[in-house]
Amino acid sequence: MNNKAIGVFDSGVGGLTVVRALLETLPNEEIVYFGDTARVPYGTKSPSSILQFADENTKFLISKNVKLIVVACNTATAIALPKLQADYKVPVIGVIEPGADKAAASTINKKIGVIGTVRTVKSGAYSTAIEKIDPSISVFSTPCPLFVPLIEENWVDHEVTSIVIREYLDSLIGEGIDTLVLGCTHYPLISEAIRKCYPGIKIVDSAVSTALMVKKLLDKNDINRVAELTFSDRISIYLSDFSETFQELGERILKQKIIDNLHKVDVQDIS
């Protein structure tokens, strides 16, 4: 038994898709979320900056006395996860391995597409993870740098977003993929728009797979929380910059009012 919270961080609002999966999969657990909205997006930053941000975010969550940390950012997972796992005693879980497992299990024709930020795609992390599971799978990747800004502006249902989706993904579809990995936790917010453009494609969102991995770790180490909490007591959301768009998107993702759960943190205080 361990009634400490689970820490989660992301560059912005997208990591709340992982939080939603955690809340649904682990109904007794408390979540402390940090969204680094002052420095979003991470996907175009240098590896050294991403390492710095990930380290600062981890230290911030540890200051909140969490029992484990989920890196709910594909870019930070790809670049910083091994170092975080080596540097900190608290367990640290990323989102790439669970997503790769799910994709490998989903494909029938062994052709998988991966979309993500420039930095995630450049890292080759998904290709490496999927090929370790099944070397016969072909992985086709493309960066989609405009998706995060469009989502952060809440243009998830906008005509422009559909145009950008086709611009980025037509080439992947042309490779004959039957499965598409959303290699950024922001991207599930436009999954319906992607489905409308390409109805036959299986879409893999790593959030649920990540939540199941967290559950296994809690069960294995017997550190589950036993006390039930109300929603308002279950989640605290810290942001390095506040915007009404974050609140609107956050409530859309979590299907709850979150204004009373939001807290502003000066990014200088964690750097």
**Domains detected in the chain:** 6-94+208-270 (3.40.50.1860), 96-205 (3.40.50.1860)
Question: Which of these is catalytic: 8, 54, 73, 207?
Answer: 73
pLDDT tens for the 271 residues of the chain, in order? 889 999 999 999 999 999 999 999 999 999 999 999 999 999 989 999 999 999 999 999 999 999 999 999 999 999 999 999 999 999 999 999 999 999 999 999 999 999 999 999 999 999 999 999 999 999 999 999 999 999 988 999 999 999 999 999 999 999 999 999 999 999 999 999 999 999 999 999 999 999 999 999 999 999 999 877 888 889 999 999 988 889 999 999 999 999 999 999 987 777 6
Question: Which of these is catalytic: 69, 184, 194, 235?
Answer: 184
Q: What is the model's pLDDT at position 87? A: 98
Q: Are 262 and 239 in contact (CB under 8 A)?
A: yes
Which residue carries 């709340």 as its tokens? 16
Active site residue 73: yes
Active site residue 144: no
Q: What is the model's pLDDT at position 156? A: 93
Q: Are 120 and 240 in contact (CB under 8 A)?
A: no
